[in-house]
Amino acid sequence: MLYWTARDQPVPCRRVPLLAGWADLDERERAADIEPGHPILIDPVLALFLARSRFTWLAEGTREACAKDYRLFVSFLWQRQVVARGGPGRPAGLGSLAAPQPAGPAIGGSKWQRELSALRLLYEWA
């Protein structure tokens, strides 16, 4: 799941009782140097990548686009593992991108290059 940090937003404790202990979320984010608009992927390793890698040096718009690309890619890998192996399996490598896939809408060259660059950044960090 992909979320974006924000300041001065109420924590939905009534809707999600588990969040009752997070009423001080703004203070926690400030203490961790997490700025508003920072993408958060709910995965400890990916969250660390988003907060402590070269990803933080990218322009704001690029970070936003790349975070969405990561969400799409991780969802794709998870779905592929569940379907192909009957359950979660070992992580896929970049070679999995070459596996035959059902035809879908074509994407432009610049979007493909951005997505490939985003994945390369993630894999080099890993």
Confidence of residue 93 (pLDDT cuts 50, 70, 90): low
Residues 9-30: tens digit of each pLDDT: 888 888 878 778 888 888 988 8
Per-residue burial over 58-83, b = 16 or more CB atoms within 10 Å of its CB, e = otherwise: beeeebeebbebbbebbeeeeeebee
Count of structural domains, the chain? 1
What is d(CA 41, CA 46) in angstroms, rounded to the nearest whole number? 6
* pTM of the shown model: 0.59
User: Which residues span the domain enclosing 71?
Assistant: 2-125
